[in-house]
C-alpha cells in the first residue's frame, strides 16, 4: 500500500533525521510497486530486481534534494524510469540465444500454451509502448504501470492534466496502429 | 479512435500481470540503506564551517602578504632614496649660490648645470644604494662624494659613468656639468680659481673622504651587492631577465613574489597515465613511416599508444571523472574470446597556449579484478599488472586499456566477468571517491558491430598495430575501418585508420590491410 501524504512527510522527515527504521519502512511500502513497474518496462524479472536495487541506491543519494512537491512514489517512479532508460541506452546488449557461442540460459520449465500466448501478448504490448515517443511513453508507463494518477503526472511533468489526457489519447492511437501492424 | 479498442487497450495496459518481487529483494535493498542519513545535517554544518574556516585562513594569508609587501616597500632605504631622487636633484640653495659665485668668479657668467648633486650626505646615499648590479659598476670607481660636513662641491672629477657616458645618480641621469666642480667658495675678492685647480682640489677631497669613509662605504656596497646576489638567483628562477639585461638607467625592483612554478607541480602534459602510454605521436610516427614507403619495425609500434589514439577523448567530455567499461566479442577470434575495454575520462578545460593543465584528482588508483570463472585474460599492448596509480590525474585526460578475455562455454548472463574500480581524491572537495563498474556476461555486446564506436575503433587500432608487430591477423582492418568511416564521415580517426591501413596494404601487396 502506498503511503498517504501526511504519513509520507513524517516518514521523509524521519529518514532525513537519520532514522533507519523509517527508511526501511519506506522500502517495505514502495519496493513492490517499483519492482512491478520496472518488470513491466523491461520484461525481465532478474533485470527488474537489479534495476530496483539501483533505483533505491540513487534514491538515497538524491533524497536530500527531494523537495516534496510530488509524492514520494512519484519521485521514486521517476528515478526507476530513468534507471531503466539509462540501462537500455548503455552500449551493451544481451547476447542472442541463437548465436552458436551464446552462453546457455537456464532452461525454464515448459509453459502451457495459454501462458505462452499471454506472455507473447504482453511482450507485444511492452514493445509497442517502448516504441512510443518519450513524452508519451513516460505518461503511459507512469499512469498504467506505475499507477500514478493523472494529477501527479501533470505535476512532475509541469503541464496541465488536460495535456496529460491528450498525451494518453495520442499514445493510444499510436499503440493501436503499432499493435495492428504486428498482427499477422 | 474506436472506443472499444481504446477500452481494450486500457484494459490490457492496466491488467498486465503484476509480477511479484523475488525473495530477498527487500532485504537486499535495506542492506544498502546508507548510514550517512544520521550525519547529514552534521556533514552540512561541518562543510559550512570548514568553508568559513578556509575563507578566514585565506583572508589572513592575503592580509599578511600585502602587509609585508607594503611594509617592505615603505621601510626600504632604497625606497626612501628613490623618493628623494625623484625630487629635483638640485643642489641646496646655499650650494647653488656658491657654485654660481664660483662660476661667476671664473667666467663671469652663470654656469649651466642641468643638475647638481644634492647635499653630500644625500649624495653619498645615492651612490651606495644605487640599484645597479655590482658587477656592472666600473672597478675603479672612486667615491664620488665629498666628506660629510664639507662644503658641498659640485660633481666630482670621477663621476660614475655608464655606457652612455652620462652620469647616473639613482634613477636620474645627470648631464655632465659644463663647468668643473667648484672649489669651496672663495671670497669674491679673491683671484679667479682655474678649472683644473678646482678639479684637483675636488679629487683630493674625494680621495680623503674615500679613505675615511671606505669601511662604511664598502660595507654598504657589500650589503647592496649581497642583496643583489640574493635577488639574482630568484630572478633567474623566475625566468626573468630584467635584472641582468636592464640598462643601468633603470631601477630593478626586487621581485617580491616570484611567479608560480607550474613545473614543480607536475602539471605538464604526460605521455603516460596510469602507466598506459598516451603518446599522441605514436600513430603519427607509424603513419609517416608507411607514407614514406617503409614498413614500420615491430619495436617502433606502440600498441597501447595507438589504442589510445583511436579510443580518443569522449565525444562529450564528462562533467566529472568517468569510468567506462564495455565488452564485445573479439574481432579475430571465432571462439569465446572477448575484448574488455575500460576508459577513464576526466573533465575538459580549455588551457591557454603554454599554460598548465589543471588537476582533476590526486592519489588515483585503478584496478581490475577478474572473476575466477574467467578462463584467461591478458592485457593488450602491455604486460603491466592489474593495478595502476597516478599521483595527479589531470583534466583533459582520456586513457583506455584493453584486455582480451576468454570465457567458459556455459557462462550465464548474470555471471560476473570483471570488476573495475577507480579510486581517487577529488581536488575540489578533497573527498575520496570510488567508482565501481561490474561487468557481467549479459553486459557483453551481442556482436562487435553493436559495440560503441569508441570501442570498435580502439579494438581495431589494437588489431592493426599488433599485426604490425607480427601478430597473426585474419581481419580486414581496412574494410572495417572504411565501414566505420562511412558510417560517420565526420570521424577523422576512422578515416585515418582506413587510409593508413590501405597504404600499408598497398605497400605489402597483400589484400587484407594487415
- How far is the C-alpha of B400 from the C-alpha of B385, rounded, in Å? 15
Long-range Cβ contacts of A48-52 (<8 Å, 24+ apart)? A48/B19, A49/B21, A49/B22, A49/B25, A51/A80, A51/A83, A51/A84, A51/A87, A52/A80, A52/B21, A52/B25, A52/B29
The arithmetic mean of pLDDT across residues B425-449, rounded, is 88
Cell numbers at B482, concatenated: 572504411
The helix (H) or strand (E) run that includes residue B313 is: none
Proportion of chain A above pLDDT 90, given as a percent: 28
- For B453-470, give the DSSP string: HHHHHHHHHHHHHHHHTT
Best interface-test mutation with B: which of A62, A90, A93, A127 has the largest number of B CBs within 10 A?
Answer: A93
Note whether B225 and B142 are within 8 A (CB).
Answer: no
Note whether B325 and B437 are within 8 A (CB).
Answer: yes
Interface A:B, Cβ pairs < 8 A: 133
Please indicate if any CB of chain B lies within 8 Å of the CB of A104: yes
Cell numbers at B421, concatenated: 574500480
The arithmetic mean of pLDDT across residues B300-304, rounded, is 93
**In B, which residues are within 8 Å of A95 by CB distance?**
413, 441-442, 444, 446
Half-sphere exposure of A45 (CA within 13 A, CB side): 9
pLDDT tens digit string along B201-238? 656 666 665 555 544 555 555 555 555 555 444 444 44
pLDDT at A114 over 90: no
Q: What is the pLDDT of residue B218?
A: 54
Q: Do A176 and B410 touch (CB under 8 A)?
A: no
Best interface-test mutation with B: which of A28, A63, A91, A127 has the largest number of B CBs within 10 A?
Answer: A91
Q: What are phi and psi of B394, to 5 degrees?
A: -85, 165
How far is the alpha carbon of B40 from chain A, nearest alpha carbon, in Å?
A: 8
Half-sphere exposure of A27 (CA within 13 A, CB side): 27
ipTM comes to 0.79
Give the best-scoring range by mean pLDDT among B189-198, B379-388, B394-403: B394-403
> Which residues are CB-contacts of B33 (< 8 A; sequence separation ≥ 6)?
A20, A23, A24, A27, A60
Q: What is the pLDDT of residue B149?
A: 42
A residues 14..43 contacting B (CB < 8 A):
15-20, 23-24, 27-28, 31-32, 35-36, 39-40
Q: What is the pTM of this model?
A: 0.42
Query: Which of these ranges, A60-69, B168-177, B277-286, has the smallest mean pLDDT?
Result: B168-177
pLDDT tens digit string along A4-18? 656 788 888 888 888
pLDDT tens digit string along A125-175? 888 898 898 889 999 999 998 888 898 899 888 889 999 999 999 999 999
Note whether B153 and B209 are within 8 A (CB).
Answer: no
What count of other Cβ atoms lies within 10 Å of the Cβ of residue B205?
20
Q: Do B13 and A145 touch (CB under 8 A)?
A: yes
Q: How many helical (H) and strand (E) elements, i.e. helices and strands, does chain A have?
A: 8, 0
pLDDT band at B145 (very low <50, low <70, confident <90, very high): very low
Please state whether B454 falls in left (phi above 0), alpha (psi between -120 and 50) or beta.
alpha
Cell numbers at B48, concatenated: 559550512
pLDDT tens digit string along B365-375? 999 999 888 88
Please indicate if any CB of chain B lies within 8 Å of the CB of A100: no
Q: How far is CA B438 from CA A88, B25, B56, B413, B441, in A?
A: 16, 19, 43, 13, 10
Strands B387-394 and B359-370: antiparallel
Q: How high is the mean pLDDT of chain A? A: 80
pLDDT band at B285 (very low <50, low <70, confident <90, very high): very high
Closest to B154 measured CA to CA, from B110, B194, B192, B103: B103
The arithmetic mean of pLDDT across residues A22-26, rounded, is 90
Q: What are phi and psi of B389, to 5 degrees?
A: -125, 160
Place of cell 662641491: B153
Closest to B183 measured CA to CA, from B234, B158, B146: B146
Note whether B251 and B175 are within 8 A (CB).
Answer: no
Better-scored residue on pLDDT, A123 or B67: B67
The arithmetic mean of pLDDT across residues A28-44, rounded, is 90
Q: Taking CA B399 as the corner, what is the angle to CA B395 and CA B405, rounded to the nearest 5 degrees?
A: 155
Half-sphere exposure of A21 (CA within 13 A, CB side): 1
- How far is the C-alpha of A178 from the C-alpha of B17, rounded, in Å? 21
The arithmetic mean of pLDDT across residues B128-141, rounded, is 42
The arithmetic mean of pLDDT across residues B53-69, rounded, is 93
Q: What is the pLDDT of residue A167?
A: 92
Please indicate if any CB of chain B lies within 8 Å of the CB of A175: yes
A residues 114..143 contacting B (CB < 8 A):
118, 121-122, 125, 129, 140
Q: Where are the beta strands (DSSP E) in B286-370?
A: 322-329, 337-345, 359-370
- Bridge partners of B362? B392, B425
How far is the alpha carbon of B36 from chain A, nearest alpha carbon, in Å?
A: 8
Q: What are phi and psi of B482, to 5 degrees?
A: -60, -40
Q: What is the pLDDT of residue B44?
A: 61
- How far is the C-alpha of A91 from the C-alpha of B78, rounded, in Å? 70
Closest to A123 measured CA to CA, from A46, A52, A167, A178: A178
Q: Do B5 and A176 touch (CB under 8 A)?
A: yes
Amino acid at each position: 500500500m502506498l503511503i498517504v501524504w501526511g504519513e509520507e512527510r513524517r516518514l521523509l522527515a524521519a529518514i532525513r533525521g537519520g532514522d533507519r527504521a523509517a527508511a526501511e519502512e519506506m522500502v517495505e511500502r514502495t519496493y513492490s510497486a517499483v519492482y512491478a513497474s520496472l518488470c513491466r518496462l523491461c520484461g525481465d524479472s532478474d533485470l527488474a530486481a537489479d534495476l530496483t536495487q539501483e533505483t533505491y541506491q540513487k534514491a538515497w543519494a538524491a533524497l536530500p534534494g527531494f523537495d516534496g512537491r510530488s509524492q514520494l512514489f512519484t519521485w521514486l517512479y521517476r528515478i526507476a524510469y530513468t534507471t531503466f532508460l539509462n540501462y537500455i541506452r548503455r552500449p551493451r546488449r544481451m547476447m542472442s540465444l541463437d548465436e552458436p557461442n551464446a552462453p546457455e540460459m537456464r532452461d525454464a520449465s515448459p509453459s502451457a500454451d495459454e501462458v505462452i500466448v499471454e506472455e507473447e501478448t504482453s511482450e507485444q504490448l511492452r514493445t509497442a509502448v517502448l516504441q512510443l515517443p518519450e513524452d508519451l511513453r513516460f505518461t503511459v508507463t507512469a499512469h498504467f504501470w506505475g499507477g500514478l494518477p493523472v494529477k501527479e503526472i501533470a505535476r512532475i511533468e509541469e503541464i496541465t492534466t488536460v495535456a496529460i489526457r491528450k498525451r494518453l489519447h495520442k499514445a493510444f492511437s499510436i499503440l493501436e496502429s503499432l499493435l495492428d501492424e504486428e498482427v499477422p | 479512435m474506436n472506443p472499444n479498442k481504446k477500452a481494450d487497450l486500457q484494459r490490457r495496459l492496466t491488467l498486465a500481470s503484476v509480477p511479484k518481487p523475488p525473495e530477498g529483494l527487500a532485504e537486499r535493498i535495506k542492506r544498502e540503506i546508507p548510514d550517512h542519513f544520521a550525519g547529514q545535517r552534521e556533514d552540512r554544518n561541518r562543510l559550512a564551517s570548514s568553508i568559513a574556516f578556509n575563507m578566514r585562513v585565506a583572508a589572513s594569508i592575503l592580509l599578511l602578504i600585502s602587509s609585508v609587501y607594503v611594509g617592505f616597500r615603505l621601510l626600504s632605504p632604497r625606497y626612501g632614496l628613490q623618493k628623494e631622487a625623484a625630487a629635483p636633484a638640485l643642489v641646496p640653495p646655499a650650494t647653488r649660490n656658491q657654485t654660481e659665485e664660483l662660476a661667476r668668479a671664473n667666467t663671469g657668467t652663470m654656469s649651466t648645470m642641468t643638475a647638481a648633486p644634492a647635499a653630500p650626505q644625500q649624495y653619498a646615499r645615492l651612490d651606495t644604494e644605487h640599484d645597479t648590479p655590482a658587477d656592472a659598476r666600473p672597478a675603479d670607481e672612486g667615491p664620488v662624494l665629498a666628506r660629510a660636513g664639507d662644503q658641498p662641491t659640485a660633481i666630482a672629477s670621477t663621476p660614475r659613468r655608464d655606457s652612455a657616458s652620462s652620469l647616473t645618480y639613482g634613477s636620474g641621469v645627470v648631464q655632465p656639468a659644463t663647468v668643473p666642480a667648484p672649489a669651496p667658495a672663495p671670497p669674491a675678492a679673491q683671484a679667479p680659481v682655474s678649472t683644473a685647480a678646482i678639479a684637483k682640489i675636488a679629487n683630493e677631497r674625494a680621495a680623503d673622504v674615500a679613505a675615511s669613509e671606505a669601511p662604511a662605504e664598502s660595507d654598504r656596497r657589500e650589503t647592496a651587492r649581497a642583496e643583489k646576489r640574493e635577488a639574482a638567483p630568484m630572478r633567474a628562477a623566475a625566468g626573468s631577465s630584467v635584472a641582468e639585461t636592464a640598462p643601468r638607467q633603470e631601477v630593478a625592483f626586487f621581485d617580491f613574489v616570484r611567479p608560480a612554478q607550474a613545473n614543480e607541480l607536475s602539471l605538464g602534459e604526460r605521455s603516460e597515465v596510469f602507466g598506459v602510454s598516451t603518446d599522441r605521436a605514436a600513430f603519427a610516427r607509424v603513419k609517416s613511416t608507411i607514407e614514406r614507403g617503409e614498413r614500420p619495425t615491430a619495436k617502433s609500434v606502440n600498441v597501447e599508444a595507438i589504442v589510445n589514439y583511436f579510443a580518443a577523448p569522449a565525444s562529450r567530455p564528462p562533467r566529472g571523472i568517468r569510468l567506462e567499461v564495455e565488452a564485445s566479442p573479439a574481432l579475430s577470434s571465432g571462439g569465446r574470446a572477448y575484448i574488455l575495454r575500460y576508459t577513464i575520462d576526466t573533465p575538459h578545460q580549455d588551457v591557454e597556449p603554454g599554460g598548465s593543465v589543471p588537476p582533476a584528482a590526486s592519489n588515483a588508483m585503478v584496478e581490475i579484478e577478474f572473476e575466477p570463472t574467467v578462463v584467461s585474460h591478458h592485457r593488450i599492448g602491455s604486460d603491466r599488472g592489474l593495478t595502476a596509480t597516478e599521483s595527479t590525474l589531470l583534466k583533459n585526460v582520456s586513457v583506455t586499456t584493453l584486455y582480451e578475455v576468454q570465457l567458459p562455454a556455459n557462462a550465464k548472463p548474470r555471471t560476473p566477468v570483471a570488476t573495475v574500480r577507480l579510486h581517487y581524491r577529488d581536488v575540489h572537495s578533497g573527498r575520496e571517491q570510488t567508482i565501481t563498474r561490474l561487468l557481467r556476461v549479459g553486459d557483453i555486446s551481442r556482436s562487435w558491430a553493436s559495440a560503441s564506436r569508441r570501442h570498435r575503433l580502439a579494438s581495431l587500432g589494437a588489431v592493426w598495430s599488433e599485426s604490425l608487430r607480427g601478430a597473426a591477423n585474419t581481419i580486414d582492418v581496412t574494410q572495417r575501418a572504411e565501414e566505420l568511416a562511412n558510417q560517420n564521415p565526420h570521424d577523422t580517426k576512422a578515416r585515418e585508420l582506413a587510409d593508413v591501413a590501405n597504404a600499408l596494404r598497398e605497400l605489402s601487396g597483400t589484400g587484407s590491410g594487415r
